[in-house]
Amino acid sequence: MISSLASSYKIIDNHAHYTKLLLDLTLARANSGSKMTKRIVDISLTFVAGMRGVEMNQHTTIAKEGFNTTMLHLYSHAGTHMDAPRHFLQEGKTIENIRLEKCIGPALVVDLSHAAPNSLLHVDDLSHIANKIGVGTRLLLRTDWDTHAELDDYRTHMPRISADLATWLVEKGVILIGLETPSVASLRPENKSELTEVHQILLRAEMVIVESLADLRALTQEVVEFIALPLKLDQRDGSPVRAIAIEDVQ
């Protein structure tokens, strides 16, 4: 079972204490004698001007003001992003109140790249790894759908989670789910009830949802260290994130 390492992370806002924590971790690894190295894999989409919900405008230039800056206009669910409960629950937690220890830790990578376009994923699709899923598990569902990110069907024909699978994940105690699709549920207008139902099942349980991941096929291990942190936006329903996976390499 892939359990949470929440107890290993003390989330604090004091820079001095945070620096000491990092130093302690570094010294512990150095003294362990381990020959393992870390491989960092970027599993985020690149934000580019013109993608849905993204505008980037040159604000100042070196030639005129002496320095470059850019004005960013970002939709809260643009690119690789995280849903807060407020996204579908009016009284749900907002993004700055997401428990950060859920966003950092071991994650089980599940290969569902065989899933057909526009298909619903059910409990049976995860039956082969059901014994590895329990309270505190983080799941990354690989569908390779990020290869459609610039195609017309990216938001209309993705494989997605069914209500029965969403309920099962909550009952198992999963704390985070990451997907290579732009939503956990259908974004087609005629499936609005499905979109609402699946999101609400997961978000009522305060499961962290990370959508529009990319390149999970680049991962070589079944379990990776996962990190995806949202911007600290006051009273907002979601946020873009930079998501990475870390693998141990001999």
Positions marked catalytic = 87
DSSP at 112: -
Give which of 201, 212, 217, 215 is closest to 239, Cα–Cα: 212
Asked if residue 57 lies in contact with residue 64, where contact means CB atoms within 8 angstroms, the answer is no
Say how far residue 227 (Cα) sits from the centre of its chain: 8
DSSP 47: P
Tokens matching residue 20: 């000491």
Cβ(110)–Cβ(222) under 8 Å? Answer: no
CA 119 to chain centre: 21
237 φ/ψ angles, rounded to the nearest 5 degrees = -90, -5
Give the C-alpha separation, 44 to 243, whole Å.
5
Integer Cα distance of 3 and 140 in angstroms? 14
**137, 174 in Cβ contact below 8 A?**
yes
d(CA 115, CA 206): 26
Is the distance from CB of 230 to CB of 239 less than 8 angstroms?
A: yes
Both tokens assigned to 36 = 């393992």
